[in-house]
Amino acid sequence: MTKAPTVEDVARVAGVSRQTVSNVVNTPGIVREATRIRVEAAIAELGYRPHAAARRLRTRRSSTIGIHLDPYAGGIAGVVLDRFVHALTERASERDMRVLLYAARTAEEEIDRLGDLLEGGEVDAVVVTGTFHGDPRTGWLNERGLPFVSFGRPWGEDDVAAPAHLWVDVDGAAGTRAATEHLRDGGARRVAFLGWPTGSGTGDERERGWRESVGAAAGPRWVVEDSVALARDVIAEGLARDPDVDGIVCASDSLAIGAHLATTVAGRADIPVIGFDNTPAAEALGLSSVEQLPERVASGALDLLMGEEGTVVAPRPTTAGAAHRLVVPRLVVR
């Protein structure tokens, strides 16, 4: 097995002292530019990586980002968050950071767990997922000064001009807008929306995109909880009342699969159905769907916490227009 390069190897190739290499790795601002460039070239040539454990001891940082792991729910839901966690772990590792997963069933239980992590100095920052109106976790974190970014906006009156904290999110309205426009461009004259009950935040954003683009082709708005079976029943009843519907945009793939089953049973397989999340289940059924691009969300979260090329937690200030990343999803047509 090839021996990993050491700081002494880098110093020898660059023609500098071991301390100079250490300065370039840890405090590059104090090193002359020409010397820093020479050392960085040697690091790249040798593939040298500083020893993470030694760095943690030296800097008194944990080099760890905590993220909540949702309870396993089975079914279709949860695929996007799984991909996000996987991408966050990979991209954090590229910055010599670790990801610590912690479990909690409620927001209150999560706050207790965060208190333990903060007291033990186990994390430098936290990524909060599944934000909602009046979320107690974000207020708790703000009060204690633990750096964090949320996957999901704060849901304030104006999250861009007056952000409550750092956040990254997917532009749900842009996704359903693209889906609706695609159906209209294909000739649909009465496009319905199948969404969740009002008040979910994320669901309301996805409905907004449909409303903004459907125009004169507006069909009915159907509401149901996120369930394949319930969606199937709602669409079956809805088509019986409104047979002129010729396109359906859905707030999730679960709803889209239910709608697809209903249109098939009703002999209306000609009605195109578009979901949201682009899960393997939607792909297997050949359903078009909006792809959230969770890998870009993960990169955005780390950029907000560490800077675009940073290797330590140094969060952006929570200033208007600069405290967020809004990822535009893409429509996958099948």
Residue 98: exposed, middle, or buried by beta-carbon count in 10 A (0-12, 13-18, 19+)?
middle
**In which residue ranges of the chain is CATH 1.10.260 found?**
7-50
Give the confidence band of 15 by pLDDT, cuts at 50, 70, 90: very high
Q: Which fold has domain 7-50?
A: 434 Repressor (Amino-terminal Domain) (1.10.260)
**In which residue ranges of the chain is CATH 3.40.50.2300 found?**
64-170+295-327, 172-291
For residue 332, give the H/E element and its range. strand 330-332
In CATH, which of 3.40.50.2300, 3.40.35.10, 3.40.640.10, 3.40.50.10680 is domain 64-170+295-327? 3.40.50.2300
What per-residue confidence (pLDDT) applies to 228?
Answer: 95
Report the chain's mean pLDDT, rounded to a whole number: 89
Task: Judge whether residue 325 has pLDDT over 50.
Answer: yes
**CB contact at 8 A, 41 and 21:** no
How distant is the alpha carbon of residue 270 from its chain centre? 33
- Give Cβ neighbours of residue 256 (< 8 Å, ≥ 6 apart): 194, 231, 248, 250, 273, 274, 275, 276, 282, 287, 289
pLDDT in tens, 79-134: 788 889 999 999 998 888 889 998 888 999 999 999 988 888 888 899 999 888 88
Tell me which CATH code domain 172-291 carries.
3.40.50.2300
pLDDT in tens, 211-269: 999 988 899 999 999 999 999 999 999 999 999 999 999 999 999 999 999 999 999 99
| Side chain identity, residue 69 | L
What pTM was computed for the model?
0.77
